[in-house]
Structure 1
Amino acid sequence: MQDISAINWLRICALGLIWGASFMFITMALRDVGPFVVAASRITLGALFLLGLLHAKGRTLPDPRQPVGRRIWGFALFMGVFSNVVPFSLLGWAQQSVASGFAGVCMAAVPLIILPLAHLLVPGERMSLRKLVGFVLGTVGVVVLIGPEAFAATGEDFEDLARLACLGVAVCYAMGTIATRLCPDVDRLALAATVMTIGALIITPVALIVEGVPTGLSLQGFLALLYLGVLPTGVAQILLVQVNSEAGPSFFGLVNYMVPVWSVVLGGLILAEPLPPSLLAGMTLILGGVALSQWRALRRVFLRG
Structure 2
Amino acid sequence: MDWTILTVLGFVWGGSFLGVELSLTGFGPITVAAGRVTIAAVILLIYAYAFGDGLPRLTSPQDRRIWLHCFGMALFTNALPFGLLSWGQLTVTSGFAGVSMAVVPLFVLPLSHFLVPGEHLNRLKIAGFLFGFGGVVLLIGGDTIFDGQPQTMLLLLAQMACVTASCCYAIGTIITRLCPPVSTVSYAACGLMLGSMMLIPVAIWAEGIPQSANSLAIAGVGYLALFPTAVATILLTILVRRAGPPFLSLVNYQVPVWAVLIGAIVLDEALPGHFLVALGIILVGLFISQSRSVTRSA
Aligned match for 1:191, one of 180, 187, 190: 187
Is 1:267 aligned to residue 268 of structure 2? no
- Correspondence for 1:127: 121
SS of the aligned residue for 2:229 comes to helix
Q: Taking every aligned residue pair, what percent have the same amino acid on both sides?
A: 43
2:65 pairs, out of 71, 81, 92, with: 71
CA offset digits 1:122-174 (Å, max 9, x no partner): 23323222233344445556777899238855636x45544543443233211
Paired residues in the alignment total: 288
Structure 1, 266-275 or 28-37: larger mean CA deviation: 266-275
Task: Provide the TM-score with structure 2 as the length reference.
Answer: 0.79
Q: Does 1:200 align with 2:203?
A: no
Aligned match of 2:87: 93
SS of structure 2 residue aligned to 1:108: helix
Correspondence for 1:234 among 230, 234, 253 = 230
Whole-Å Cα distance in 2 between the matches of residues 38 and 261 of structure 1? 24
Contact 1:110–1:253 at 8 Å: present in 2 too?
no
Query: Structure 2: which 5+ residue stretches go unaligned?
Result: 294-298
- In the TM superposition, what is the alpha-carbon distance from 1:207 to its structure 2 partner? 0.9
Verify: 1:28 aligned to 2:26, yes or no: no
For residues 195 and 69 of structure 2, what CA distance do their matches in structure 1 show? 12
Question: For structure 1, which segment, 35-44 or 20-29, has the greater mean C-alpha deviation from structure 2 after superposition?
Answer: 20-29
Please state if 1:214 is matched with 2:210: yes
Distance in 2, matches of 1:163 and 1:144, equals: 12
- The 1-side partners of 2:5 and 2:215 are apart by 30
Please tell me the residue identity of whatever aligns with 2:55: L
Which stretch shifts more, 31-40 or 13-22?
13-22
Residues 140/34 of structure 1: CA separation in 2 closer, same or farther (3 Å cut) = same
Give yes or no for contact 1:25–1:225 (8 Å, CA) kept in 2: yes
Partner of 2:12: 18
Alpha-carbon distance change, 196 to 210 in structure 1, aligned in 2, over 3 angstroms: same
- Describe how 1:1-305 pairs up with structure 2 within 5 A: 7=2, 13-97=7-91, 103-104=97-98, 106-138=100-132, 148-149=142-143, 153=150, 155=152, 158-238=154-234, 246-247=244-245, 255-273=251-269, 285=281, 288-296=284-292
CA positional deviation for 1:69? 1.5
User: How far apart in 2 are the matches of 1:69 and 1:97?
Assistant: 41
Distance 1:117 1:282, change over 3 A: closer
In structure 2, relative to structure 1, the CA distance for the partners of 1:199 and 1:50 (3 Å cut) is same
Distance change in 2, residues 1:160/1:291 (3 Å): closer
Q: Is the 8 A contact 2:128 2:285 kept in 1?
A: yes
1:85-122 Cα shifts (integer Å, max 9, x gaps): 01211222233345666645543333222101112222
Decide whether the 8 Å contact of 2:22 with 2:217 is kept in 1: yes
Please tell me the residue identity of whatever aligns with 2:110.
P
Cα shift at 1:41: 0.4
Shift of 1:217: 1.5
Pick closer, same or farther for the CA change 1:271–1:95 going to 2, 3 Å.
closer
CA change 1:138–1:241 in 2 (3 A) is farther
